[in-house]
Structure 1
Amino acid sequence: MRFSAIVSGSKLPNWILRIKESSTNGKWQEVVSHYHEIKKAGIQTVDVSVFPPILKAWSFLSHRHGKSLHACLIKQGFDSFTSIGNSIMGFYIRRGDFDIAVDVFNSMRRSRDSVSWNILIHGHLDNGALVAGLWWFTNARVAGFEPNISTMVLVIQACRILGTKHDGLILHGYVIKSGFWAISSVQNSLLSMYVDADMECARELFDEMHEKDVISWSVMIGGYLQWEEPQVGLQMFRKMVLVPGIEPDGVVMVSVLKACASSRDVCTGRLVHGLVIHRGFDCDLFVENSLIDMYSKCQDAGSAFKVFNEISQRNNVSWNSMLSGFVLNENYSEAQSLISSMRKERVETDEVTLVNILQICKYFVHPFHCKSIHCVMIRRGSEANELVLSALIDAYAKCYLIEIAWEVFARMRRRDVVSWSTMISGFAHCGKPDEAIAVYQEMDRDLVKPNVITIINLLEACSVTAELKRSKWAHGVAIRQGFASEVTVGTAVVDMYSKCGEILASRRAFDQLPLKNIVTWSAMIAAYGMNGLAHEALALFAEMKRHGLKPNPVTTLSVLAACSHCGLVDEGLSLFKSMVQELGLEPGFEHYSCMVDMLGRAGKLDTAIEVIKTMPHNLKNGASIWGSLLSACRSYGLTELGKEAISRVLELEPSNSAGYLVASSMYAADGLWDDAARIRVLAKEKGVKVVAGYSLVHIDNKACRFVAGDGSHPRSDEIFSMAQQLHDCIKIDEKKEGNTWLAVIECLT
């Protein structure tokens, strides 16, 4: 027996060596096995260096066995050794027992060292107990103990996360005094802290750093992106690539691509893409997904799809990024095809996928598909996600299922400003402005602070009512909430007043805006046109160009519409010509439609047909163009010419009542009663719901609606008689029109 113990004892150094070796390699089960072999051999070791790796192994494998070892160490008196006490603390911290770890630390009053303090501070900070970790760090400094580098980095990160800039400044002073300033990891941690708090201080610190590595540059580029200065971030990147020895990594590439996406700088984005390929980062899935996002946000969905197709191992983010890109760029047919591919590839859909599918349903007005997605959400439990619910409410509203949208909204447990704004927008879209305004008032009672989108939706609802009193109230809300000077809100105010017929109020709101963009100018021009002030619209259009703003297609369409409604044919033709020759804009479907409408109103149907013939082939299938021609044929009794327009309109918009009404009216005016009856029967067979046209007349700040053909008003005979007199007074000056249009056709062809 004695000989056996001696033989076993001779093996002890080997066992200890194996334990330490296994611990270094993270093989915790082997550590425990070797320890059990020592115990089975009945050997009592006095080498305290064997216990720290065993305690560490138990912290990963078994809490109960670790506590038993702790008890044994106390019995043997080994807990008085500093290394053993530190290991016991580490065991309890790794197991999340901070209170016991603190008790062990307190029992080490005479034996604790800097490692003891670092274990306690590091343990708290590493496990998210930031306030407690900083408190222990302060105590360590008072006691005269110094933190190590990793602890120092964690302390700086804690200050950054907690947003305590004052403590961060004090910490910065301590870093300089204690000699940590020369260490790059500490410098970069301080840089990250300042980036979150104050970008100017971060830039000063960055400029003072003698040794800047790729992390330093990456932090600064990401910081400028975070502070919504992507262009400055791109400038930093350009400087970085010129510094010898600094090689950009995947993290830098992702930040730069995000900066390109934020600034819509596709040219720089393509250059970065080339660098990505040159550096071999095109195998980095994170970088590839960022490329898809960049191209999508720069309105180049084609390039985004090329990147997507070149990814060999796509993840869920890749599919969702591409789907979001198609939706963002309104490529809804391509988005539908991608969803089919996702189904074939058995890609797991998540909340982001559902939101994008709802956007597609909204665009195509697919109420049935909205309900199907809603069922999927219920099965998956996604109704707890407020973003998805807001998208569902929006889709239901845009598909005119406003009652279901309201039910979903009413059942929401927590309503944020997005869901409230979506519900206001939904009611306004469905022609229920009173309900939209009531929702805003309820939101106000619930003390939910509105944002810019909320105010814009409220203004839109008031513009639908066309009541001046309500519109002034909504304008007051925008002023009180501090949003009236926002360009988007100011533009909505201009539009709202114009729809109330208060063109002077529109102009005042326009003049009071400190900043105006092209949309604001277009809205004011459209306001003049809507209220029959075409000359003022043309004058403002000229003023806008004098301010150095280049008109866009929307602006030119607003001026063309003003000319059309006011009978300024020469001016409209001249503008259409300059749009191509001077402004370099390609006329779209809406521009051609407006020109056909303008010429049709003037009775120049032959010229209107010439316009249609000069149109690009892909634009000829627009119902509104043929609708404008049909309306003119009815007005001027050109039934034969109108027959082709009828067939086109009913083919392109079979569910729109307007085409059937105009066609029936044209046949009836020409005495073709059988044809008129046939059109009415056709509308009935197709289940077309007839929507009567109406006019709004403002009397005492209230909008009075006059429906076409409604004889219920006590003075309806006088009203219709006056309308006929006004119609008879409309005269169009036909001078020089033929020559002007020939010039326009020549310029287009």
Structure 2
Amino acid sequence: MAVRLPSISSVSRLPSCFSKIKNLAATGRWQEVLSCHRELREAGVQLTDPSVFPPILKACSAISFDYGKSIHASLLKQGLDSFTSLGNSIIDFYVKSGTLGCANDVFDCMRNRDSVSWNIIIHGHLDQCAFEQGLGLFFQAKITGFKPNISTLVLVICACRERQLFDDGQILHGYIIRSGFLAISSVQNSLLCMYADIRMEFARKLFNEMHHRDVISWSVIIGWYVQNSEARVALELFRQMVSEFHIEVDGPITVTILKACTNLQNIEMGNLVHGFAISRGLKCDLFVGNSLVDFYSKCDDVESAFKAFSEMSQKNVVSWNSLLSGYVQSEKHSEALLLFDSMRRAGVEADEVTLVNLLQVCKYLMLPYQCKLIHSKVLRQGYESNELVKNSLIDTYAKCNCISLAWKQFSQMKHRDAVTWSTMIAAFTYWDMPGEAIALFREMKLIEENLNTVTMLNLIEACSLFADLNISKSAHGIAIRHGLAFEVAVGTAVLDMYSKCGAIQASRKAFEYMPQKNIVSWGAMIAAYGMNGLPRDALALHAKMESQGLKPNLVTSLSLLSACSHGGLVDEGLSVFENVIQEYGVEIGVEHYSCLVDLLARSGKFDSAMDFINKIPCTVKPSASAWSAILSGCRNSGNREVGAGALAHILELEPSSSVGYLLASNMYASGGLWSDAANMRLLGKRSGAKVLAGYSLVHVNNRAYRFVAGDKHDPLSDELCIFIEQLHSWMKIENTDHDNILGTKRKEVKSCSSSFRLQQQLEQFVDAGT
């Protein structure tokens, strides 16, 4: 077989070809490098100079893995792989091609390894997140006395940080000191990042020992304090950095400081940072611009947020979302919709954050149709797996009076987290479906879903509505077992739950066992006393609260006034009202004025109530409840002229409520004007006013039963309902022959004269019915 020999002209051109390959590689023209190599191979030229192959292998790692493997094979045949420099290039080729296994094979077969060999293989593993293997190779290489390059050393530090390897990190720190690398800024900053993520006290110590701190060093320390809710310390460090050490500020640290200002809601400091960013020419930085919009939005200064947004030279979807979130948070929903329209016209595609914000708008404005449109967009864009989007959909459907759609969305979810369960439980509670909420919580506990504070609060609220003492006690027990009962918010909700079940002693006990109390806790206990007809206890607790240095706020003072109103404590109520204004400096709201009018009217001081309502400042408009109290007083005083005026105010403020019509009807009926009373009720029906039915709550055998006016579907048995109707009819008989009547009924109901026997009778009926 004839062997093709290279021509003399080809051999003479070899030096120039080698030079051309190297020059092409230096400028990154990899395709031309491989083309040149192919020409030489096709010409039958056998390359024996090891120095020509590294650029060719680099070209292969950039363009063709298979071509690189063929070159490796030819090098093995020629025995050129024994050159250490060429072996290093082969390892580098496999590392950059993402095949660590092949790189390891070549590395293991190398007879002579130098520091470059170790650096390439260690760097390759760490760069591809094979942290354990990379760290193992590094500590193995240390024994051979190799010298790592800076990039490898930084990656090794990052690997210790990623794996939270404090002991290995300290060993590495010692090695860096002994090897003389500690003076290098990038190595120091990498160590600083490692310690900040693992042991902050070591990071602070290293920071204090550093002779040269650049902006990255300061950013690491300041960033840690911001992330760990110590924004004030972060701001003080930033002040030192700028004023004492005169470090030039860059974009990343500006973003961090704006985050600190956001956490503190410090609008003044944020304005200074904004001006600082402008003076340093950082306002064109996209991340700085987005942070400014986010800062102003979260500080409820949407005008400044819009101004910062308008001045941005470039924007992305984060910019639009930050401003949109600001409008939603500030309840400027019309502006939010206009902004979204501008965003759409600007060609910016909505993402999941945009859709969640729009869902918040739909929830507030109760727009079920628009919610369905957003839901369809969620499905089209593939966001249905996003937890935040799914939970927002459930919440929005529920608030838009589409509880069935909320339940359908919940039922179709394959994976539910604690937020999902909490959202659905809250939805049932919101629509006065406490039984369903409690049942759903039980299902949640069966699958052992993690219980958090929000879920616990939703369960307690459902129990408050259900008003079953046993179930409420069970909820309290769950909170104790999960270590949540000692949280202020949960403890406050528990005492409120017991008060709504009528168990005021349990409320008092829950309040006393709270390790920490805030103004909300004290206010809830005061409200509990007022709700359960104990106004004197409410006033005493208020005095105790003051003795501990706490001043009443708007809610606490309103609870006190309400307790005095329902307890008929006129003088005490007036005293509370005056003290709230004069001593505590609380800004009185319309509710306080209305409550005081109600107090005076309930106590029969109709003229005083009228005088007071006429003296209310023009900036405060009396609520419908205040005029309702006046109208109710007119029924007792017979002043129909004033009553007609009060009715007009009620209908203006609450046109869909039945309260005004019913009170006016009662007023006319008390004066014997039966036709006017009937006409008023007829007007209420024609206007479509919503009638809220009253109900009575009866506890039997520690179970709560609700009797709603006009509801034929009572939770008790039909037999007990008949018995209660009979009892009611006996009570109506207004003659002296009660004993004879009761005597004829003794065969049906034994000894119903005592409340104790009546309770027993009720319990027997309940047991039979359940």
TM-score (norm 1): 0.88
| CA displacement at 1:65 relative to structure 2 | 2.2
* Aligned position for 1:734: none
| CA displacement at 1:112 relative to structure 2 | 1.9
Unaligned runs of 5+ in 1: 723-749
| CA displacement at 1:222 relative to structure 2 | 1.3
Show the 5 A alignment for 1:343-422.
343-422=344-423
Inter-partner Cα distance in structure 2 for 1:632 and 1:336: 46
| CA displacement at 1:429 relative to structure 2 | 1.7
8 Å Cα contact 2:21-2:33 kept in structure 1: no
- Structure 1 residue 511 corresponds to structure 2 residue 512: yes
Q: Which moved more, 1:368-377 or 1:433-442?
A: 368-377
Secondary structure at 1:313 match in 2:
coil
Equivalent AA in structure 2 for residue 371 of structure 1: K
Secondary structure at 1:384 match in 2:
coil
* Aligned position for 2:691: 690
Secondary structure at 1:283 match in 2:
coil
- Residues 176 and 68 of structure 1, relative CA distance in 2, 3 Å threshold: same
| CA displacement at 1:689 relative to structure 2 | 4.6
| CA displacement at 1:686 relative to structure 2 | 5.5
- Residues 690 and 45 of structure 1, relative CA distance in 2, 3 Å threshold: same
| CA displacement at 1:143 relative to structure 2 | 3.5
| CA displacement at 1:279 relative to structure 2 | 2.1
8 Å Cα contact 2:92-2:103 kept in structure 1: yes
Equivalent AA in structure 1 for residue 91 of structure 2: M
* Aligned position for 1:208: 209
Inter-partner Cα distance in structure 2 for 1:59 and 1:211: 39
Equivalent AA in structure 1 for residue 398 of structure 2: A
* Aligned position for 2:27: 22
* Aligned position for 2:761: none
| CA displacement at 1:102 relative to structure 2 | 1.0
Matched-pair identity in %:
56
* Aligned position for 2:288: 287
* Aligned position for 2:103: 101
Equivalent AA in structure 2 for residue 593 of structure 1: S
8 Å Cα contact 1:621-1:652 kept in structure 2: no
- Residues 388 and 706 of structure 1, relative CA distance in 2, 3 Å threshold: same
Inter-partner Cα distance in structure 2 for 1:500 and 1:130: 58
Equivalent AA in structure 1 for residue 469 of structure 2: L
8 Å Cα contact 2:22-2:55 kept in structure 1: no
* Aligned position for 1:174: 175
Q: Which moved more, 1:38-47 or 1:438-447?
A: 38-47
Inter-partner Cα distance in structure 2 for 1:10 and 1:90: 25
- Residues 590 and 304 of structure 1, relative CA distance in 2, 3 Å threshold: farther
- Residues 669 and 261 of structure 1, relative CA distance in 2, 3 Å threshold: same
* Aligned position for 2:550: 549
| CA displacement at 1:654 relative to structure 2 | 3.9
* Aligned position for 2:238: 237
Inter-partner Cα distance in structure 1 for 2:367 and 2:624: 21
Deviation digits for residues 122-141 of structure 1, max 9, x if unmatched?
11111222222222223222
- Structure 1 residue 455 corresponds to structure 2 residue 456: yes
8 Å Cα contact 2:11-2:45 kept in structure 1: no
| CA displacement at 1:482 relative to structure 2 | 0.6
Equivalenced residues, count? 718
Secondary structure at 2:145 match in 1:
coil
8 Å Cα contact 2:593-2:622 kept in structure 1: no
- Residues 31 and 2 of structure 1, relative CA distance in 2, 3 Å threshold: closer
Unaligned runs of 5+ in 2: 1-5, 713-720, 735-770
Q: Which moved more, 1:470-479 or 1:157-166?
A: 157-166
- Residues 486 and 167 of structure 1, relative CA distance in 2, 3 Å threshold: same
8 Å Cα contact 1:20-1:50 kept in structure 2: no
8 Å Cα contact 1:22-1:30 kept in structure 2: no
* Aligned position for 1:131: 132
Secondary structure at 2:211 match in 1:
coil
- Structure 1 residue 118 corresponds to structure 2 residue 119: yes
Inter-partner Cα distance in structure 2 for 1:720 and 1:173: 94
Deviation digits for residues 457-495 of structure 1, max 9, x if unmatched?
111111111222211111111110011111111111121
* Aligned position for 1:739: none
- Residues 633 and 245 of structure 1, relative CA distance in 2, 3 Å threshold: same
- Match of residue 86, structure 1, among 85, 88, 96: 88
8 Å Cα contact 1:8-1:41 kept in structure 2: no
- Residues 77 and 427 of structure 1, relative CA distance in 2, 3 Å threshold: same
- Structure 1 residue 271 corresponds to structure 2 residue 272: yes
8 Å Cα contact 2:296-2:302 kept in structure 1: yes
8 Å Cα contact 2:627-2:649 kept in structure 1: yes
Equivalent AA in structure 1 for residue 157 of structure 2: I
| CA displacement at 1:709 relative to structure 2 | 6.8
- Residues 46 and 662 of structure 1, relative CA distance in 2, 3 Å threshold: farther
* Aligned position for 2:146: 145
* Aligned position for 1:528: 529
| CA displacement at 1:607 relative to structure 2 | 5.2
Deviation digits for residues 320-376 of structure 1, max 9, x if unmatched?
122222333444444344334334434322211222222222223333333332222
8 Å Cα contact 2:18-2:52 kept in structure 1: no
8 Å Cα contact 2:456-2:490 kept in structure 1: yes
Inter-partner Cα distance in structure 2 for 1:28 and 1:675: 98
* Aligned position for 1:70: 72
Secondary structure at 1:182 match in 2:
coil
| RMSD, aligned α-carbons | 3.0
8 Å Cα contact 1:18-1:34 kept in structure 2: no
Secondary structure at 1:483 match in 2:
coil
Secondary structure at 2:81 match in 1:
helix
- Residues 94 and 491 of structure 1, relative CA distance in 2, 3 Å threshold: same
Inter-partner Cα distance in structure 2 for 1:721 and 1:583: 54
Secondary structure at 1:703 match in 2:
strand
Secondary structure at 1:415 match in 2:
coil
8 Å Cα contact 1:15-1:38 kept in structure 2: no
Which is greater in Rg?
2
Equivalent AA in structure 2 for residue 103 of structure 1: D
Inter-partner Cα distance in structure 2 for 1:400 and 1:619: 32
Q: Which has the higher contact order (CA 8 A, sep 6+)?
A: 1
TM-score (norm 2): 0.85
Inter-partner Cα distance in structure 2 for 1:683 and 1:506: 40
8 Å Cα contact 1:599-1:608 kept in structure 2: yes
- Residues 344 and 655 of structure 1, relative CA distance in 2, 3 Å threshold: farther
Inter-partner Cα distance in structure 2 for 1:632 and 1:359: 42
Deviation digits for residues 402-439 of structure 1, max 9, x if unmatched?
23222211211111111111122122222122221221
Inter-partner Cα distance in structure 2 for 1:671 and 1:369: 52
Q: Which moved more, 1:365-374 or 1:667-676?
A: 667-676
Secondary structure at 1:383 match in 2:
coil
* Aligned position for 1:222: 223
- Match of residue 12, structure 1, among 12, 17, 21: 17
Equivalent AA in structure 2 for residue 543 of structure 1: K
* Aligned position for 2:477: 476
Secondary structure at 1:696 match in 2:
strand
Equivalent AA in structure 1 for residue 542 of structure 2: F
* Aligned position for 2:248: 247
Inter-partner Cα distance in structure 1 for 2:269 and 2:731: 62
Deviation digits for residues 570-610 of structure 1, max 9, x if unmatched?
33333333333333332233333333433443455565556
| CA displacement at 1:2 relative to structure 2 | 6.1
8 Å Cα contact 1:19-1:50 kept in structure 2: no
